[in-house]
Structures are given as C-alpha cells and as structure tokens.
Amino acid sequence: MPRSDRIPGIRPRPSLGRRLDIAARASFPAVSTAGLMMLTAAPFGFAGQAALLPATALAAVYFWSLFRPAAMAPVVVVVIGILLDLLGYLPLGVGVLTLLVVHGFAARWQRVLARQSFLVVWVAFLGFAAGAAALGWALTSLLQFRLLPVSAALFQFVVSAAIYPALAILFVRAQRSVAAPERA
Amino acid sequence: MIRLSIPARQALAKLTLPVLIVAAFALLLLGKADALLAERARMGLADVLAPIYAVLSEPLGRFRAMVADTDELLSIRADNVRLHDENERLRRWQSTALALDAENQRLRANLHWMPDPAPAFVTARVVADAGGVYARAVLLSLGPNHTVVKGQIALDERGLVGRVTEVGTRTARVLLLTDLNSRIPVILENSRSRAVLVGTNGARPRLIYWPEGSVPAEGERVVTSAEANAFPANLPVGTVHYNASHVPEVEPAARLDRLEVVRIFDYGLRGIVPPEAGARPAADRRR
C-alpha cells in the first residue's frame, strides 16, 4: 500500500501517470520474473542451461514472497508456475504445485525470515531448493511412471543454490528502486 | 468490486492458497488426462517465443563463434598437423569409396535393384533447447507454411538426431535419441544383428536386446533398422563404445550438444505415429 493511502486526509485523485507508476511498481516482481524466465530459455548454448529456468523461477518466487508478499500473490505464483511448466517442458501442474508449496512455506515464515541477514535467508533457501527439486523430481517421476535420474534433480538444486545470491542482489536493488511502492 | 468485511476478506485470503494447491493437483490430473492440451499450449508459447529466440541466436551465435575462434587460434598448429594426417587417410578412403561405389552401381545394374526413392527434406534452424530438466529435445524454427508432421526424422550433417514429436504453426520439437523416452530399432553393422537403442538422458544412449551370441563390438558402427516402419534402414546412428561398467553404449554420430541446423526428412513412414496425429487433419495444420 503506498504511504499516501495509509495517511488519512483529502487529496486529489492520482493522475494517470501516477497510477501507471503504482501499477508498474506493483507488477514489477511478476513481470520481471516472467521476463527472466524467458531469458534463461534463450539459446545461450552452454551445458546444463535447462536447470537455470526452474532455479530462476524458484529464487524469484521465494525472494518476492518474503520481501514483497503483496506483489507475489498466490495467483501470480500460479501464472509463473504455468509458465515454468510450459517453458521447461515439465508435466503440466508440476511447476505450479512446487512453486505454490514454496510460496506457502515462505509466506508462513515470512515474519521470521524477512528480518534475518542475507546469509540466513540464503541458507533457508537451500532448504527450499532441496525440497522443490525433490518434489519436482517425485511428481515428474510419478506422472511418467518411471524413476527419473536423481542426478538431474541434484543438479537443479545445486544450480538453484548457486544462482540465488546473484539474483538476490538484482532483486534487492530493484526492491529499493524500481519496485519500491513508497517511491511512486 | 464486492465490499466485504475485514474478517471475511482475511478468511478468503487464507483460503486462496489451499484452493490454488487443490487446483494445481487438478491441473496435474488434467495434464495427464489430456496430453494434447499441454502440448498445444506449449507449442503455442513456443510459436510466440521462437522468432525472439531466432533473433537472439544471431548475436549469441556470433559470440560463441568468437570464443571458439580464440580457442582454435591457440591450437592451430597441432590442428594443422592432425588435419594433414587425416587428409592423407581420407584420400585413401576416398579412392576406396569411389571404387566400391562403382562396383555397387555395376552390381545393382546386374541385379535390377529397385532404388530407394529420394526422400524430401526441409532444413531448419535449431532455436532453443526444448528439453527442460528431465528430457532431451530441441526446438526448431520453421516457416509459417511448413509441411513437417510428427514422426518425421531429423538428421544433422553426420547422423541421426531424433524424431519430430510436437509440431506448432511455426515450430517443431525434436526428441533427441539421447532422451529417456527414445527407443530406436538399430542394426549392428558388422554382425547385422538387431538391437534397440535406449536413451538415458546422458550423452550416450545404451544398447539392449541384441541377440545372444552376437555381442556388440567396440567401435562397431550402428545404423537404423527399418523394423517397425518407424525409420528407414541404414541411417548412421553412431559407434559402439563400452563404458566403465562394461555396458555397451553408442557414441552418437550427430553432434547433439551443438546442433545448429538439422534436416527433417519425410520418408513417408507411418509405422509409429502418435495416436492424436491422425485426429488432426492436415488442413488444420496449414492455417
């Protein structure tokens, strides 16, 4: 909620530009996440690139669920999850369910985690990444009626853990500048 | 917008997540029950993204070529020596091949051999990896009026790449022969015995079901078999290689890790066609 809405008083209706600004700031986490996900699927051609997509989606949902829960509502998580399923060629629903579970736990522990240092948040993310990789692996295996290689899930966990700090730096910067609602 | 009391709104907000999780389970079931739905959505998204990736791949490709160039500059002398040797060897092979070809022509003429019809093919650019974490596939960019259908066969300049499994309006997805779900009937070239090539998601697919008594030999060439009418005979697949735990694997001839352009051949084979392919009329594809 912008600060001006919380302070009582009569003031003119916000102009179109301001309303657009507010909307852009509120939708930044969702839009940037979708954009980043499409970027990770671009043909860079390095080995193991496929693991970047789930890792990026996971890091973004986790970060914004903790630090800007209003902009990462469950419905937004569902849309990101569907995008993950379609772009990542996962069985439909696997990404949605995984990200929703991550979002649920992150929202539950938000009050505690959001006040911690970066390192603690990262260590907590390791747990989330392990859980998400395991859940994704289990669901995909179940839906395909076969045991998929565990190494792929393990690799996804490692990539998630490694990419989080880099993404978090970007997200923190965005959170304080372009995505900050109080600056609108 | 409906005005609700604050407790009601809070209760609703608490309900959203459980309801959506149940909906996600429903989506899982729906995706399993109606595989075509997910496939259409996926290819629709791919159709939208493929042109963007095609534009992006130009500078990315140039960058990659630059890196490769610097790599090559460092080893240019060693490469030159190796290439001279290889050229010598290939020249000898060329004369052998020409002699064999002439002999083959003569024998075929004597036998009144019916030549295989030359298959039609289209060449397409690989625009993105389409495998995700648990699959091995590539996405091809095609023109809007393409004639590619499911089940057609993709080859690069060296050998078999895989089969077309999903087709959009301007894209197609090719399942690589290394994918976990790939099963290819093959022939071991020396012993002429049949086997099945099974993808493992790793770099080298495994050989199974070879007949007793004719064990695949290390370095033996493996080609496709016309069994099951899914592939034409004698497309080069790769060479046999035993791994550390003594399981015969096939080193693919195609360069699957750096596919840039593939040719999609229409051999007119309808041996194994996905069940939904028949339900989709050809006119629908040409919209």
Name the residue in chain A with its Cα closest to that of B19: A74
- pLDDT per residue as tens digits for the range B161-170: 999 988 888 8
Give the mean model confidence (pLDDT) for residues A166-179: 86
Nearest-Cα distance to chain A for B165, in Å, is 13
Chain A residues closer than 8 Å to B257 by CB? 47
Residue A52 has pLDDT above 50, yes or no: yes
Query: How does the average pLDDT of chain B come out, rounded?
Result: 85
Q: Could A152 and B60 be called an inter-chain contact, meaning their C-beta atoms sit closer than 8 Å?
A: no
Give the mean model confidence (pLDDT) for residues A43-70: 87
d(CA A23, CA A40): 26
Q: Could B126 and A43 be called an inter-chain contact, meaning their C-beta atoms sit closer than 8 Å?
A: yes
Confidence class for position A40, pLDDT limits 50, 70, 90: confident
- pLDDT per residue as tens digits for the range B12-69: 877 888 888 898 899 888 888 888 888 888 888 888 888 888 888 788 888 888 888 8
Higher-confidence position of A164 and B269: A164
Strand pairing class (B171-176; B183-188): unpaired
Three-class DSSP category at B236: strand
Strand partners, B185: B196
CA-CA-CA-CA torsion sign (B285, B128, B264, B162): negative
pTM, 2 dp? 0.82
Confidence class for position A23, pLDDT limits 50, 70, 90: confident
Lookup: tokens for A37: 């996900």
- Tell me which of B79, B111, B143 is where a domain ends: B111
Confidence class for position A6, pLDDT limits 50, 70, 90: low
d(CA B29, CA B185): 32
* Res B18: pLDDT: 87
Chain B residues closer than 8 Å to A156 by CB? 133
Chain A residues closer than 8 Å to B28 by CB? 91-94, 97, 139, 143
Q: Could A152 and B134 be called an inter-chain contact, meaning their C-beta atoms sit closer than 8 Å?
A: yes
Please report whether residue B157 resides in a domain: no
- pLDDT per residue as tens digits for the range B148-162: 888 889 999 899 999
Nearest-Cα distance to chain B for A51, in Å, is 6
Q: Could B132 and A81 be called an inter-chain contact, meaning their C-beta atoms sit closer than 8 Å?
A: no
d(CA A96, CA A102): 10
**Four-point Cα dihedral B178, B182, B183, B188, nearest 10:** -20
Q: Could B49 and A74 be called an inter-chain contact, meaning their C-beta atoms sit closer than 8 Å?
A: no
Name the residue in chain A with its Cα closest to that of B30: A92
Please report whether residue B100 resides in a domain: yes
Chain B residues closer than 8 Å to A90 by CB? 132-134
d(CA B41, CA B106): 54
Q: What is the CATH number of the domain that holds B218?
A: 2.40.10.350
Q: Which of A8-12, A50-54, B269-273 has the lowest mean pLDDT?
A: B269-273
Residue B139 has pLDDT above 50, yes or no: yes
Residue B286 has pLDDT above 50, yes or no: no
Q: Are B167 and B39 in contact (CB under 8 A)?
A: no
Please report whether residue B3 resides in a domain: no
Residue B102 has pLDDT above 70, yes or no: yes
Percent of chain A with pLDDT over 70: 96
Higher-confidence position of A67 and B118: A67
Query: How does the average pLDDT of chain A come out, rounded?
Result: 87
Name the residue in chain A with its Cα closest to that of B257: A47
Nearest-Cα distance to chain B for A11, in Å, is 22
Give the mean model confidence (pLDDT) for residues B106-123: 85
Of the residues A75, A79, A92, the best mutation for testing chain B's interface (the one with the most B CB atoms within 10 Å of its CB) is: A92
Nearest-Cα distance to chain B for A52, in Å, is 9
Q: Which of A150-164, B44-58, B158-172, B243-257 has the lowest mean pLDDT?
A: B44-58
- Tell me which of B111, B133, B166 is where a domain ends: B111
Higher-confidence position of B131 and B193: B193
Range ranked top by mean pLDDT from A8-12, A171-175, B7-11, B56-60: A171-175
Confidence class for position B281, pLDDT limits 50, 70, 90: very low
Confidence class for position A161, pLDDT limits 50, 70, 90: very high
Cα-based distances in Å from B257 to B31, B92, B204, B269, B286: 30, 30, 11, 27, 31
Please report whether residue B270 resides in a domain: no
Give the mean model confidence (pLDDT) for residues B87-104: 94
Residue B228 lies in domain:
183-253
Q: Could A92 and B127 be called an inter-chain contact, meaning their C-beta atoms sit closer than 8 Å?
A: no
Nearest-Cα distance to chain A for B158, in Å, is 20
Lookup: tokens for B217: 């030999």
Which positions ≥6 away from B249 have C-beta within 8 Å? Answer: B204, B205, B206, B207, B240, B241, B242, B243
Lookup: tokens for A130: 């392990």
Of A49, A89, A94, the CB nearest to B137: A89
Q: Which of A56-65, A96-105, A167-176 has the lowest mean pLDDT?
A: A167-176
Which residues in B have their CB inside 8 Å of a CB on A? 16-17, 20-21, 23-32, 37-38, 41-42, 45, 49, 52-53, 56-57, 60-61, 64, 126-135, 137, 180, 200-202, 257-258
Number of domains in chain B: 2
Cα-based distances in Å from B70 to B61, B73, B74, B82: 14, 5, 7, 18
Chain B residues closer than 8 Å to A94 by CB? 28
Of A42, A81, A82, the CB nearest to B128: A42
- pLDDT per residue as tens digits for the range B183-231: 999 999 888 899 999 998 888 999 999 888 888 888 899 999 988 788 8
Chain B residues closer than 8 Å to A153 by CB? 133
Residue B279 has pLDDT above 70, yes or no: no
Confidence class for position A2, pLDDT limits 50, 70, 90: low
- Name the packing angle between helices B76-111 and B35-74 (round to 10°): 130
Place of tokens 């923190």: A172
Please report whether residue B120 resides in a domain: no
